[in-house]
Structure 1
Amino acid sequence: MFDLNQLRCFVTVAEELHFGRAAARLNMTQPPLSRQIQVLEHIIDAPLLERTSRSVRLTPAGRSFLPEARRILKLAESASQVAHRIAMGKTGSLKIGFTAAAAYGFLPELIAACRAKLPEIDFSLKEMVSGDQLEALASGQIDAGLLRPPIARPDLASRRVLAEPLLAAIPKKHPLATAEALSIKDFDSQPFIMYSPYEARYFHDLLVSQFSRAEILPRYVQHLSQIHSILAMVRAGLGVTIVPAAAASLKIADVKLRPLKLRTQNPVELFLVWPREHENPLLPALVDIASGIAASGTPKD
């Protein structure tokens, strides 16, 4: 089979129709150039050039072979460039898992920043609960995840990218909706739309710890996993709830969001997590971009 150097020699001679000029373009002498053309013709088993002492012309086979030779060279160059850009972390694909609440704020900001700095990256995004993300990271189904703590896995690296406050979510006509801010004790004995202890374990356990610390007991009237579904129940007047600040972007009608006074100002944490040993050269760039967003916008405890 012919090689790329032979094709390059043939294309250059075909464009110049002169061995001397072609050899100069290729930074070589005429004898080795002529040998490359001869070897190529032998491999193809057809003459590609008609040579005389005065001129060089393409044969019919040469005219037919020229566009194909150019196409092969272009494909080879493109493949080389793609491989180089992937190795340099400038192109390729990233599979990212995320919790539903991450999509309300941090995830869109992260993807927008990545597209601005690395426009050739393809993203595959998959909404998953934190536990499923940890398993997907271990099995290689995703390259990185935006998930909730705890992350006690020695094979995984992590970086906190968001710490945000909790907000009280109150039906518009509820007496508490008129307050400028609420305390956790205001929820004592209130009908409360609670997070599922399984699908939304992080928020469930976070609120249970807050209620226990304040020595109060809301009346749980429903357990749901998705924040938008929980707020829909609040809108219907079925109870009150507590949501992360990012949920304000949902702008649910007839639901009033009020600041919540807590000992910890920003208790809701989100982490970017990725395997310590990985083969995706894009991951360092993703971590750097996420860290930059966190450093510039994440409130501090």
Structure 2
Amino acid sequence: MAYTLEQLRGFVAVADELHFGRAAVRLKMTQPPLSRQIQKLERAVGAQLLVRDNRRVNLTAAGRVFLTEARRLLALADAAPDLARRVSSGTSGVVRIGFTAASTYGILGELLNELGRQLPDVDVDLVEMVTREQVAALANREIDLGLARPPFDRDTFDSRLLHREPMLVAVPAGHRLLGLDRDATADDVVGEPVVMHSPTKARYFYDLIAGVVPIPQEDIVHSVSQVLTMLWLVAAGRGIAFVPASATRLRIEGVGFVRLATPVPEPAELHLLWVRESGNPALRRVLEVLDGYP
């Protein structure tokens, strides 16, 4: 047998007052129906909650434990309508955000701070994944929003440019390229061993660099997917690497940077990406907050 919220409220009132008459007045009812509520509640729970005689009412050990849970259940029930309204309006809820590792070097922390200031009741779950994984997770509704690299399927996804930055050449300390008084060109890196972006897991950067600096396959000493790994390999003297400018924030000892000459001054793009038909109200509010950001 299940118990009702009215029975819980009756029990809490009697437990607070330790008197059926006063509890009935507090609940704006008469004493007999209140007594019946408590009896039904005890039958539903399967334990005696109150000890009563003609002069006093006391809680049993089971009653004291049940009182704590009854208060919690009533608080949840009272808060549920307001929570439902806030979730419906998008001011509360959960937004799951996928992000590339490189986005954490610059804009991700600032973006989360902005959301925390303007939408404090929206919880943000973070999942690190490359763009290809984000696209699949968005399509499967496993995440709500991505911080990803183009291109995207415009029929399925909406996107908004979030950040743009130049590309740099990361070189070991003391490298000859650090002596240049200009941006590095394709001619400057001919014959250099290169730590290259993976053509599968980091396709965006792979294609971007290939369009600016044609690199013979024999010059590629390693292919990796994460910028941080590239910088550690550069610091170890394994070769040079092409990285977004935000990578300088990592401050890896033994690595210097030279700007890479490209047709576009700031070619590396990071976009907000979401499914057009998302039904998450909190996502709509997040996008409103981030409109025009930064």
TM-score (norm 1): 0.78
Q: Which amino acid aligns with 1:76?
A: L
Q: Identify the residue that residue 199 of structure 1 maps to in structure 2.
A: 201
8 Å contact 1:168–1:182 — kept in the other structure?
no
1:79/1:3 Cα in 2 relative to 1: closer, same or farther (>3 Å)?
A: closer
- Map of 1:226 onto structure 2: 226
Looking at structure 2, the residues matched to 269 and 251 of structure 1 have their Cα atoms a distance apart, in angstroms, of: 22
List runs of 5+ in structure 2 lacking aligned partners: none
Partner-residue secondary structure (3-state), 2:73: helix
Q: Could you tell me whether the CA contact under 8 Å between 2:198 and 2:225 is conserved in 1? A: yes
- The correspondence for 2:71, drawn from 70, 73, 83, is 73
Residue 202 (structure 1) shift:
0.4
Aligned-partner SS, 1:146: strand
CA distance in 2 between counterparts of 1:233 and 1:50 reads 77
Structure 1 position 130 matched with structure 2 position 131: yes
Per-residue deviation, 1:237: 3.7
Q: CA RMSD in A?
A: 3.3
Q: Counterpart in 2 of 1:287? A: 287
Match of 1:260 in 2: 260
Partner of 1:278: 278
Aligned-pair identity in percent equals: 36
Q: Which residue of 1 aligns with 2:168?
A: 167
Change (3 A) 1:39 1:169: closer
Given that 2:8 and 2:74 are in contact with CA atoms closer than 8 Å, whether structure 1 keeps it comes out as no
Match of 2:4 in 1: 3
Residues 55-90 of structure 1: CA deviation (Å, up to 9, x unaligned)? 6x21565x7535514522322323653644555545
Give 1:3 shift. Answer: 1.1
Equivalent residues, number: 284
**Does the 8 Å contact 1:97/1:125 carry over to 2?**
yes
> In structure 2, do the counterparts of structure 1 residues 59 and 23 end up closer, same or farther at CA, with 3 Å as the change threshold?
closer
- Does the CA contact (< 8 Å) of 2:10 and 2:38 recur in 1? no
Using the TM superposition, give the Cα deviation of residue 211 of structure 1 relative to its aligned residue in structure 2, in angstroms.
3.4
| 1:85-104 per-position Cα deviation (integer Å, ceiling 9, x unaligned) | 55554555443222221122
Shift of 1:113: 3.6
Provide closer, same or farther for how the CA distance between residues 261 and 110 of structure 1 changes in structure 2, counting only shifts above 3 A: same
2:219 counterpart SS class: strand
Question: How much has 1:135 moved relative to structure 2?
Answer: 0.8
Query: 2: distance between equivalents of 1:42 and 1:217?
Result: 82
Deviates more, 1:15-24 or 1:141-150: 15-24
How do 1:148-159 and structure 2 match up within 5 A? 148-159=149-160
Residue of structure 1 aligned with 2:35, choices 34, 37, 44? 37
TM-score for both structures, normalised by structure 2 = 0.79
Q: 1:109 to 1:42 in 2, by over 3 A?
A: closer
Larger mean Cα displacement after TM superposition, 236-245 or 247-256: 236-245
Q: Which runs of 5+ in 1 are unaligned?
A: 297-301
